[in-house]
Amino acid sequence: MQTKIAYQGVAGAYSEQACKSAFPNLNPVACDTFLDAMSMVEDGEAIYAMIPLENSTAGRVEEIYRLIPKMKLHVVGEHFEPVVHCLLGVKGSKLKDLKYVASHPQALAQCHNNILKLGLTSIAKLDTAGSAKEIKELNDKSFGAIASKLASQIYDLELLKEHFEDIKGNTTRFFILSKEKKIPEYDKNQNYITSLIFQVRNIPASLYKSLGGFATNGINLLKLESYAVEGSLNATQFHADIEGHIDSPCMKRALEELEFFSTEVKILGTYGSHRFRQRT
């Protein structure tokens, strides 16, 4: 039985923490790119991939929206992971020693005000945990990194300041991807989300008409993202997260209307709503 779950980044990444939170019995495997993580699942080398979709502070992860239409995987769940940014330094260092701070551009943006308060120079890197690994190897007290508490433990770094983010409650939403299509049996007493992508027909008010079926059937549209179809400046594709199960009668009627006004509709998956949504 496969026991691996793939994620993009290096050991100590927030995606690894998400893997541990959602699947404590699985073994997280670091991959260089999102595509590599997805490929591990497609090739049967991992049971799931934990892929970040959006962050409450920095917005959507643009690259994922370009990869989703091409993937053969299915969305079988979602996970919300609180992001607690930590300011890290090499062993023996103190806040007053720092002159530079390295991290992923999104993490730097999420800690921008606190970085300014300390008068530090930001250095953009490919990922957060990779920055922690680099300052460990550099062993220079003037260099710090913004990464997870897990990264500080893995690379034996000083935890100079926890909750270094500007806005508390920063959270990242992840898709859990599987090679197998897993749709839970419909229970009208449970909360579900259906994720899909679609491209509307080239007619006036096509987007308005295609989404009208959700309104008339009392279905809540949780998220709608648009992005250009690769190789075209005219065609637009949409990603939607919709509250409801694909097998519910009202969802079936709404999807019929969507399909009528669309040239393509691809169901990415139907899965249980994460408990984080109930709390918020």
Q: Determine which one of 34, 143, 174, 198 is catalytic.
A: 174
The CA distance from 77 to 176, in Å, is 5
Instruction: Identify the active-site residue in 172, 194, 198, 270.
Output: 172
Q: 10 Å Cβ neighbour count for 199? A: 18
**Whole-angstrom Cα distance, residue 89 to residue 158?**
5
The question of whether 280 is a catalytic residue gets the answer no
Rounded CA-CA distance 25/27 in Å is 7
For residue 267 the two structure tokens come to 């169901």
Residue 202 amino acid letter:
N
The number of residues in the chain equals: 280
**Helix ranges restricted to H, the chain:** 14-22, 34-42, 62-67, 105-110, 112-118, 128-138, 149-154, 206-216, 249-260, 275-279
Note if 174 is an active site residue.
yes
Distance of CA 197 to the CA centre of its chain: 17
> Tell me, what DSSP letter sits at residue 36?
H
- State the catalytic residues: 172, 174
